[in-house]
Structure 1
Amino acid sequence: MKKPLPFDQAEFAARLAAVKKEMSNREIDFLLLSEPPNQNYLTGYDSLSFYTPQMVIVALSHDEPLWIARFMERSQAMMGTYLADENIRTYPDEYVNSHTGLSAYDVVADIVKELGGETARIGVEMGGYYYSARAHADLVRALPLATFVDADLLVNWIRIVKSPAELVCMRQAGRIADAMIKRGVDMMEPGVRECDIAAAVYYQQIAGTPEFGGSYDSSCLFFGAGERALAPHPTWTDERLPASTTVYMEVHGVRLRYQVNLARTIVVGKPSPAYQKFSEIAVEALNAGLDSVRPGRTCSEVQAAYAQSLARHGYKKEARLGYPQGIGYPPASAERTASLRKGDNTVLQPGMCFHMMAALWLEDKSICITQPFTVTESGYEPLTSTPRALIVK
């Protein structure tokens, strides 16, 4: 069976070794991974099957991870992971939405016991989007002699520094994001429906570029026109664009599950001199933040450079300035680790990727001009090439 893996075996081996090293540091014998990005990171598995219980087990005593999911997903795991057949496990369909007390986590527990983990120290992702209170209760019940510890973000903190192969995907995702912005702006004219613009952007998201295709994102296209541009996470309507309006659009370029976010504000018509100046202040602050990026600096120091520039013009951004990105699955693309915000003393390292979300949503106006980037040996590399400026159509 053909295995179209996005990375070679050495890449996956290095990731697994780093995870096992951290497990050893924390004295964790078994790591149960419920988060789709972390499952993908360690096995290559990619399928929208995580609406039913799905788990990857990493055991210090076992060479490969074990993948466990619903029986019908086995073929995708066979094609889309490097795992040996015996490390691809499934449970019957009657465990899905069971009303008779069956729990897929009993199957997970049985496999842990099979590997000698009945009395082990087991790490679980307590803060994960896909690890429910019921899942934890069922595992604790099924493994009463084990010790459960919170290992949330263990893999995420390893993922935050991208390998050269991963950075190739991030750059390609950035090129798709650029194409999406261009497609949306090209569509914007008075009288065009918002939904038709959104459809064109989604077409570009999936079509990608002539060299490589794209995929679905971790959330949805954000699109707000007029007053709705004051909101940070609006979606499109079927209203037609008026002769003069402001549009906020955030797109998500995705390549092999690696996601790059990019946002721009577009004026249809002619911006007022005051609003044009407002946009220039926002870009000045964004560039100040970017120019402060270099290895050894902290996230807090980058935020401070941005905030100082903004403060000179009497403005302040309440929300964090940015978040790390990489593998993205619903419901969010942020890696839940470092943030570009005051007080976050995470030290920047080459290979880290962030979305600098230098957006200002005020009561009477908003501006959203952002920049995804990766930290380099001497500064930063933009992951997109769309000019950092207000777009006037």
Structure 2
Amino acid sequence: MERILHFERAEYATRLAAVKAEMSKRGLDILLISEPPNQNYLTGYDAYSFYTPQMAIVALDRDEPIMITRGMDAASSRITTYLSDDSIRGFPDSYVNSTERSAYEFIAKIVQELGSEKAVIGVEMGGYYYSARAHADLVKALPQARFEDADLLVNWIRLVKSPAELVFMRQAGLIGDAVIKRVIETAEPGVRECDLAAAAYHQEISGTPEFGGTYNSSVVHLCIGERALAPHSTWTDKPLSNNTVINFEIHGTRRRYQINVSRTLYLGKPSIDYVKLADIAIEALNAGLDSVRPGQACSEVFAAFHKVLARNGIEKDQRIGYPLGIGYPPTVAERTASIRREEKTVLQPGMCFHMMTGLWLGDQSVTITQPFAITEKGCEPLTHTPRTLIVK
């Protein structure tokens, strides 16, 4: 069976070593990884199988992680990971959606097999794919173990991207540019909102002539007309009308590495006041980007951005940036650093963020944003669509 690996084995070894070093620092013998992005990061595993329990196990005294999935998805482990057959385990279908037995009992047996029934076990307590029932079942099945919250342990390590990962982030950015272009070309009065969404999705998956895209971790946001005052609306089947604001957030996803980017498109002729608001938003965005450099705290970037708003009598309390990387539903954000007023995380080369500087001011809104990577000297835009209000 042919393996589809997107990184050299040495890259995975470096990632695993960093995770084990942090486990040792925290006194963890075992780390149970329930989050699909973290499983992908450490093993390469990629399949739309996270609707049932699946787990990667990292043990300090074991060379490879163990990947546990539904039995039929073990084939995906053999195709998409570097793991040996002994490190790939599938549970019987009798555990799937069962009211009588738990797949976490199966996972617990593998922990016991590792001789770790009395281990200190880290689990991702805040993860999207680790439920209260999952934890209760593991605790019941491993009564002599001590469980510790290791949420975000892998996420913080993922925050700094390797040169190989940055290649995919840049390719994702090029797909994002193609999607923006497609949305602009498609949007016309009379076009249904759902058809505009379909055009965006087609381009996200089609990608560019050089490389294709794939499904992303979120929906396309089409905030149109009155719904432009809400940040996370989707589409209807209504036709677009003239003199309408369209705030759209789209994605480029390349081998699970994803960028998010937003633009505001105005169909018709915007008012002088609206153009002025867009100009302020763009000036603030550019000021934030210009301030980015290694060694700077996230709060300093926020301050540079907000200084422009304050000069114009505008207040924004929400964060203006979140980290990008491997994306699986329901989010691409790595749940670690944010660019906001009191965030002290220090920026490092290789980190990637979406500077999401949208303004929602009650009766007007504008969303012109920029994904970027931090370099040795500043930042590198990951998309190249001009940061302007688009008028059509």
**Which interval holds the TM-score relative to the shorter structure?**
over 0.9
Report what 1:71 is aligned to.
71
Mapped to 1, the partners of 2:190 and 2:292 lie a distance apart of 42
Matched, 1:48 2:42: no
- Structure 1 runs (4+) greater than 2 angstroms displaced: none
Cα shift at 1:190: 1.1
Contact 1:190/1:244 (8 A) holds in 2: no
Ranges in structure 2 where 5+ consecutive residues have no aligned partner: none
Name 1:360's counterpart in structure 2.
Answer: 359
Residue aligning to 1:250: 249
Give the structure 2 partner of residue 225 of structure 1.
Answer: 224
**d(CA) in 2 for partners of 1:241 and 1:112?**
56
Q: Secondary structure at the match of 1:316?
A: coil
Look up the match of 1:59. Answer: 59
CA distance in 2, matches of 1:388, 1:142: 54
Partners of 2:93 and 2:161 lie apart in 1 by 37
Indicate the residue corresponding to 2:20 in structure 1: 20
Single out whichever of 184-193 and 31-40 deviates more from structure 2.
Answer: 184-193
Match of 2:84 in 1: 84
TM value normalised by structure 2? 0.99
Rounded Cα–Cα distance in structure 2 between residues aligned with 1:103 and 1:237: 40
2:59 maps to a residue whose letter is: A
Q: Distance in 2 between matches of 1:276 and 1:231?
A: 19
Aligned to 1:270, the other structure's residue is in SS state: coil
Corresponding position: 1:32 with 2:29: no
Amino acid at match of 2:296: R
| 1:266 alignment partner in structure 2 | 265
Matched, 1:205 2:201: no
Aligned residue type for 1:212: F
Instruction: Look up the SS of the partner of 1:249 in the other structure.
Output: strand
Residues 42-73 of structure 1 deviation map (CA, whole Å, 9 limit, x = unaligned): 00001110010000000001000000011010
The answer for the alignment partner of 2:389 in structure 1 is: 390
Give the percent of matched residue pairs that are identical in Structure 1 and Structure 2. Answer: 66
Letter in 2 for 1:48: Y
Q: Deviations over 1:316-351 (max 9, x none)?
A: 112101100100000111000000011110000000
Which residue is 2:343 aligned to? 344
Do 1:321 and 1:340's aligned partners in 2 also have CA atoms closer than 8 Å?
yes
Pairwise CA distance, 1:106 = 0.8
1:215-256 Cα offsets, whole Å, 9 max, x none, are 111110000211111110011111111122110100011000
Name the amino acid aligned to 1:278: L
The answer on whether the counterparts of 1:214 and 1:253 sit within 8 Å (CA) in structure 2 is: yes
> Which residue in 1 is equivalent to 2:288?
289
Task: Output the CA distance in 2 between the equivalents of 1:272 and 1:141.
Answer: 63
Residues 338-392 of structure 1: per-residue CA shift (max 9 Å, x gap) = 0001111000000000000000011100000000001000000000001001001
Distance 1:284 1:322 in 2: 16
How far apart are the structure 2 equivalents of 1:206 and 1:97? 31
Deviation, 1:15, is: 0.5
Distance 2:350 2:185 in 1: 33
**Matched residues, number:** 392
1:328 correspondence with 2:327: yes
Q: Quote the Cα distance in structure 1 between the aligned partners of 2:223 and 2:120.
A: 48
- The CA distance in 2 between the partners of 1:202 and 1:343, in whole Å, is 36
Q: State how far apart, in whole Å, the 2-side matches of 1:308 and 1:59 are.
A: 48
Q: Distance in 2 between matches of 1:107 and 1:4?
A: 27
Whole-angstrom distance in 2 between the partners of 1:249 and 1:184: 9
Q: Which amino acid aligns with 2:314?
A: Y
Instruction: State the Cα RMSD in Å.
Output: 0.6
